[in-house]
Amino acid sequence: MIEILKAGLYTTIQDKGRTGYRALGVPVSGAMDTVSAAMANKLLNNDTEAAVLEFTMMGPKLQFKVPTVISICGAAFQPKINGKSIDLNKAISVAKKDILTLGHPEFGSYGYLAVSGGFEAQEVLGSRSFYKNITKNSNLEKGAILKLQNPSSEKILRNASFAIDSSHFSDNTIEVFPGPELHLLSKKFQKEILASTLKIGSQSNRMAYVMEGLEAFSAKEIITAPVQPGTVQLTPSGKCVVLMRDAQTTGGYARIFQLTNHAICKLAQKRAGDKVQVKVKKYYNDN
Amino acid sequence: MKQPTVTYFGEHALLLEWKPAIDEHTLSEVLKIKHHLANTCKDEIVEMVSAFSSIAVYVNKNVALQQFAETIKKELKKSSKATSITRRKVQIPVCYDVKYATDLEEVAEKNKLSVAEVIKLHMKNPYKVYFLGFLPGFPYLGGLDAQIHTPRKETPREKIEAGSVAIGGSQTGIYTTDSPGGWNIIGKSPLAFFSIKKDSPALLQAGDIIQFKQISKDEYRKIEVEVAADVYEIEEEVIYD
């Protein structure tokens, strides 16, 4: 078991997400940066479905009640065990009563803590990912006790560590496919949008990242249609949002782009004020 | 009806689009094809989200999208002969008492009608559930009488309780979970529209027909208790298209 001593900012349990219920209007959820979350699990030889702890900008403080092995990936948080710095992207043994602090990230936004065997949170509609009105909690609070699935203090991959791909955090190019309504914009608009630099707005969260910089453009509303994580919507007043993991399942704004999953992960690690540029990718050469 | 177009929608999805329309004819075509694909492409499809005139088909990560698009196109041709689908007609009890209907008087005033007339117009027609979205279990309903169309509130409320029946522009809907929202609240239903404890968590589904039925405050409380104890029986009938 692990006790949350300080909750940090929007600390949640996440796994690969909730599939099969989108037709009922239930979002997919799941880790914002699935690449980093998967890396944390891989370091411990966990199942890819294992639930991890996700936190952002201000990490939680927690205490281990059992010895186990952990790994911390994603944003460059500054983890310490009992006040002593430990490495990111590495399998690390912890002892009973050890206190882990995460601090603030030097770069990036979302961090992931995996434990050997994964966290055991209640599975609701096939997933442990927190989501308001679906799971009991929408984020973890001080005093919460987290159960572990199969705690093991053995390092399965001996001294496992990964070198991180720094471009995952530093690269400002976001790869997108053309969205269903992109062709409805004039050729001039399309060209100008692609040349625009987009700034991430401060109201960004697990549901959507607000993008500033397209205020001069406009797209007609559409008859409500399916949307998914990575869908880029443009409103009649030039407001632009990229839907993220907790996105609703349908929407009424023009869908101008669709991010690749890798691009969603990269964007998730950006902060308010960061600038990105979209690069359109073709589905297939003959398309 | 013309076949929908099939395009890619990200790395692991296809989008089937009909001519944009909000009408029953398109709805039955959309549902018919969704039903057909669910039966014929089980191995490839993870889930589908249908809306007014389109379907997103989310596929397994190992499915080659280009090839699967061709399969879908072939299936679309076959599905025109597909058998009809059944629908449910569900009765939804609603209490229009002021206690639950915060904005009913305002809706009446804005439309130059009496409160009784608004209630009568709201209950008059059966509504079609086009699809679920916005909130878990939230039905997009078609069929609101034009006389009671009412613009959304300028400042959305921070919390609207689950079960609240509301009007937003030309639509009426039911808040299926507690949520912030900007629609005008004209009543409340004691039914549980979304429950993770149920095998099928959403009470309503795309294609259902619903009929609102007025109940008193006393009846509301009685049904509320029955719903909580999971003994309330919903009045419904099956319709064959």
Tens digit of each residue's pLDDT (9 = 90 or more) over B192-215: 999 998 888 999 999 999 999 999
pLDDT at B153: 87
The region, left, alpha or beta by phi > 0 then psi within -120 to 50, assigned to residue A57 is left
pLDDT at B81 over 80: no
Q: Point out the least confidently predicted range of B67-76, B81-90, B117-126.
A: B81-90
Identify the CATH class of A171-280: mainly beta
Percent of chain B exceeding pLDDT 90 equals 83
pLDDT in the model for residue B199: 86
Mutation for B interface: A18, A21, A24, most B CBs within 10 A: A24
Residues of chain A with CATH 2.60.120: 2-146
Q: Residue A198 is which amino acid?
A: L
Chain B residues whose beta carbon lies within 8 Å of the beta carbon of residue A223:
20-22, 51-53
CB atoms near residue A149 (< 10 Å): 17
Closest residue in B to A176 (Cα–Cα): B10
pLDDT at site B128: 95
pLDDT at position A287: 45
Is the fold of B5-81 the same as that of B87-240?
Answer: no
- The DSSP secondary-structure symbol of A121 reads P
Q: Which of B56, B31, B53 is nearest to B45 (CA)?
A: B56
Domain A2-146: give its CATH code.
Answer: 2.60.120
B206 and A23 in contact by Cβ < 8 A? Answer: yes
Task: State residue B202's pLDDT score.
Answer: 96
CA dihedral of A34, A36, A41, A42, whole degrees rounded to 10: 110
Q: What DSSP assignment string belongs to A44-101? A: TT--TT-BEEEEESS--EEEESS-EEEEEEES----EETTEE--SSB-EEE-TT-EEE
pLDDT at B175 over 90: yes
Instruction: Round the average pLDDT of chain B to a whole number and report it.
Output: 93
In chain A, residues with a C-beta closer than 8 Å to the C-beta of B21 are 223
What integer pLDDT is reported at residue B183 of this predicted model? 93
Task: Give residues with Cβ within 8 angstroms of A106, minimum separation 6.
Answer: A76, A78
pLDDT band at B155 (very low <50, low <70, confident <90, very high): confident
DSSP per-residue codes, B16-75: EE-SS--SHHHHHHHHHHHHHHHHH-TTTEEEEEE-SSEEEEEE-TTS-HHHHHHHHHHH
- Smallest Cβ–Cβ distance between B47 and the set A19, A260, A284 belongs to A19
B interface with A, Cβ–Cβ < 8 A, is: 7-11, 13, 15, 17, 20-22, 46-56, 58, 65-66, 131-138, 140, 176-179, 194, 196, 201-202, 205-206
Of B8, B22, B178, the CB nearest to A133: B178
CB contacts of B9 in chain A (<8 Å) are 180, 226, 228, 258
- Which sequence spans correspond to the domains of chain B? 5-81, 87-240
Q: B109 burial class (0-12, 13-18, 19+ CB within 10 angstroms)?
A: middle
Question: For chain A, where do the domains classified as CATH 2.40.100.10 start and end?
Answer: 171-280
Q: Is the pLDDT of residue B56 over 60?
A: yes
Residue of A nearest to B48 (CA): A23
Residues in chain A, pLDDT under 70? 151, 153, 155-159, 285-287
pLDDT of B154 reads 83
Task: With CA atoms as reference, report the closest residue to B108 among B162, B161, B176, B98.
Answer: B98
Q: End-to-end distance of chain B based on CA atoms, in angstroms?
A: 16
Burial of A180 (0-12, 13-18, 19+ CB in 10 A): buried
- Model pLDDT for residues B99-118, shown as the tens digit of each residue: 999 999 999 999 999 999 99
Q: Does domain B87-240 have CATH number 2.40.100.10?
A: yes
For residue A22, give the DSSP letter: G
The contacts of residue A136 (CB under 8 Å, 6+ apart) are A122
**Measuring CA to CA, which residue among B147, B157, B85, B74 is closest to residue B114?**
B147
Asked if A26's CB is within 8 angstroms of B136's CB, the reply is yes
CATH number of B5-81: 3.30.1360.40
CB of B19 closer than 8 Å to CB of B2: yes
Give the one of B48, B66, B177 whose C-beta lies nearest to A23's C-beta: B48
